[in-house]
Amino acid sequence: MADHVTVIESVKLDDANDAIILLDQTKLPNKKEFLQLKTVDDVWDAIYQLKVRGAPAIGIAAAYGIYIVTKNSTASDFEAFYQEFKKAKEKLASSRPTAVNLFWALDRMEARLMKEKEATISEIIRALKNEANLIKKEDQEVCEAIGRHALEVLEPGWGILTHCNAGTIATAKYGTALAPIYLGEEKGYDFKVFADETRPLLQGARLTAWELNEAGVDVTLICDNMASIVMSQKKIQAVLVGCDRVAANGDAANKIGTSGVAILAKHYGIPVYVCAPMSTIDLNTETGNDIEIELRPEEEIKTKWYSESMAPEQVKTYNPAFDVTDHTLITGIITEKGIVSPSYKENLAKLFD
Ligand code: MRU
């Protein structure tokens, strides 16, 4: 299925070397460089620096991180092992605040640990490895299912606008918003994808345009401020985006700029689909106002991608990494269980019944 996804795995376990092998996404599209992560600080730094990014991939990296840093534990009893586990968990949980998948994966690792309370330390470590592997395996299946469901509402030949990167490298495979693109490609849907460049860190230009291009998909890169003209010219029939956290009322936090795209799409009468695994839906967060929006350093706006500063040194910056798309702007939330339509409060809750 979907042989078009030829792009390399972004997060892999190298058990023999007690390491996570990570595709350094900050180096794309110019270099395919792999890092070896061995310590909790390595994993924290990789997540914070966006070497691994995208909600599901962050969760997978954190799960493997927990396993890697606890596998050589010398703890002699459960309590001592649990203290080490908790220290690593708390550290990783402090890396980025918005994507709920990070906390979801860490909690899932803890739940597995608790199930093994009576087991030996080596059995517990084996169980943690199995759980991390399972999180990754399930994510691939979940993404494929999201892709299949999304195809129910898309038609061959459509122009699809996407923002940021919710592709194969942001997940175990296929991506969320890009899964239907890959699955559709297999079926000859021949989508025309428009990728917003996604300032300030250019995930659309560096990652989405790169991975779709590698896979032979028809992709056109546009600057963020071009979405309106492209929509007005009827080049876009649907907007597909990923998500970092869906609140109980359907408000969805995703990469900064997503809400602007959704507002434009409403103006032009274009449907907006948020592609989100169940692990991204957080019923404990009531509305988008309750989602913590990560603030990132000013160098990302002023200097990061430039050989010279692109702004006066003293100028203040404001660099929120995400924004919240109001649920009223979302046509449907596409999960592995199917497409959720409004009213989201009722229908998201039903999904978990
Ligand atoms: O800051 P990033 O690059 O981690 O932001 C990623 C996004 O906003 C993605 O759309 C989201 O995490 C979904 S990835 C399947």
Q: How far apart are CA 18 and CA 191, in angstroms?
A: 41
Predicted confidence (pLDDT) at residue 164 exceeds the cutoff of 70? yes
Query: For the residues 44-60, what does the mean pLDDT come to?
Result: 98
> Which distant-in-sequence residues (6+ apart) come within 8 Å of 107 by Cβ?
none
* pLDDT for res 6: 61
In the residue annotation, 196 being an active-site residue is answered as no
Nearest CA to 255 out of 346, 138, 167, 154 is that of: 167
**Catalytic one of 139, 244, 251, 323:** 244
Predicted confidence (pLDDT) at residue 4 exceeds the cutoff of 70? no
Asked if residue 246 lies in contact with residue 281, where contact means CB atoms within 8 angstroms, the answer is yes
Predicted confidence (pLDDT) at residue 2 exceeds the cutoff of 70? no
Residue 203 near ligand 1, beta carbon < 6 Å: yes
pTM above 0.90, yes or no: yes
Nearest CA to ligand 1 atom 10: 242
Q: Where are the alpha helices (H) located in 26-120, listed in sequence order?
A: 40-48, 55-70, 78-93, 100-115
Q: Which atom of ligand 1 is nearest to the CA of 53?
A: 4
Sheet-wide strand order for 11-14: 11-14, 19-23, 34-37
Q: What whole-number percentage of the chain has pLDDT above 90?
A: 96
What are the distances in angstroms from CA 37 to CA 19, 61, 124, 181, 206? 5, 10, 22, 31, 23
Residue 53 near ligand 1, beta carbon < 6 Å: yes
* Sign of the C-alpha dihedral computed for residues 207, 211, 214 and 219 taken in this order: negative
Q: Which of 102, 165, 333 has the most ligand 1 atoms within 8 A of CB, as the residue to mutate?
A: 165
Predicted confidence (pLDDT) at residue 317 exceeds the cutoff of 70? yes
Which structure tokens are listed for 288?
Answer: 């988008």
HSE-CB of 55 using CA atoms within 13 angstroms:
33
The alpha carbon of 80 and the centre of ligand 1 are apart by a number of angstroms equal to: 35
Given pLDDT bands bounded at 50, 70 and 90, which one contains residue 1? very low
Query: For the residues 209-237, what does the mean pLDDT come to?
Result: 97
Domains of the chain plus CATH, in order, are: 11-143 (1.20.120.420), 152-351 (3.40.50.10470)
* pLDDT for res 345: 98
Asked if residue 195 lies in contact with residue 221, where contact means CB atoms within 8 angstroms, the answer is yes
Given pLDDT bands bounded at 50, 70 and 90, which one contains residue 3? low
Q: Is the peptide bond before 343 cis (omega within 30 degrees of 0)?
A: yes
Q: How many residues comprise the chain?
A: 353
User: How many CB atoms are closer than 10 A to CB 32?
Assistant: 12
Which structure tokens are listed for 150?
Answer: 């999304």
Which structure tokens are listed for 269?
Answer: 């009468």
> Counting beta carbons within 10 angstroms of the beta carbon of residue 98, is it exposed (0 to 12), middle (13 to 18) or buried (19 or more)?
buried
**Phi, psi (rounded to 5 degrees) for 336:** -70, -20
Single-letter residue type at 174: Y
ipTM confidence: 0.99
* pLDDT for res 5: 61
